Amino acid sequence: AAAGILCYVGAYVFITYDDYDHFFEDVYTLIPAVIIIAVGTLLFIIGLIGCCATIRESRCGLATFVIILLLVFITEVVVVVLGYIYRAKVEDEVDHSIQKVYNRYNGTNPDAASRAIDYVQRQLRCCGIHNYSDWENTIWFKQTKNNSVPLSCCKAALSNCTGSLTRPMDLYSEGCEALVVKKLQEIMMYVIWAALAFAAIQLLGMLCACIVLCRRSRDPAYELLIAGGTYA
């Protein structure tokens, strides 16, 4: 179950990142997600090893289980550290790239950047970088010369909005930069909390395995019972 949830979290990060990748040029931000998917896959195999070792009362198997869990635990600690590092970098990355993305917008023949902007403005209910007036400085706005912003800036409840700057009350007033930063930081926090939660579960797993190992090594009655002998 833990393995499945970890893989889900990693996949969620990949899918969500794909919607915002134009605003974040540093692909290394996906490293925590890659690691957490790998850990989830490995954790499934480790879980099977632990179950088999416990059922068979294999001391060697349990010791191997504890060692592997310890390595995975260390990996998840690395994921948490990387998550915090890249979470701190999000604001600088978005600030560096968002102006270039808006300047590549082409409403008449949408490319990937245009679709990304329209998607973000609709999903996050924002308009422009800091507010809708930022569109006046874009190449697309100067070429169209119709004093309007993209329809993705229109409030969802309005059906007759044309994006005209003469009716600013029809447009989203909040800029997209702060909301994109917030969204990307939330995504990174999902990874951090998932890694912390399952690191705690793995600590419990290591503790239980160690208890079983100690019982096998210290309790002669337990050993004789398993071997089918008697204890006087």
Q: How many domains does the chain have?
A: 1
Q: Give pLDDT, residue 154.
A: 93
What range defines the domain where residue 201 resides?
89-218
The CATH code of the domain that includes 129 is 1.10.1450.10
pLDDT, residue 130, reads 92
Please report whether residue 132 resides in a domain: yes
Please tell me the predicted confidence (pLDDT) of residue 225. 42
Does residue 2 lie within any of the structural domains?
A: no
Q: Please report the pLDDT score of residue 88 as a whole number.
A: 79
Average pLDDT of every residue of the chain:
79
Q: Is residue 130 part of a domain?
A: yes
pTM > 0.75:
no
Q: Give CA–CA dist 29/31, Å, rounded.
A: 5
| Per-residue pLDDT tens digits for 48-68 | 777 777 677 667 777 777 888
| 63 found inside a domain | no
- Flag whether 225 is in a domain: no
- Which of helix, strand or coil describes residue 57? coil
In a domain, 71, yes or no: no
Task: Give the per-residue pLDDT at 72.
Answer: 80
In this structure, is residue 15 part of a structural domain? no
Q: For residue 227, is it left (φ>0), alpha (ψ between -120 and 50) or beta?
A: alpha
163 is a domain residue: yes
- Side-chain-side CA neighbours of 23 within 13 Å: the count stands at 30
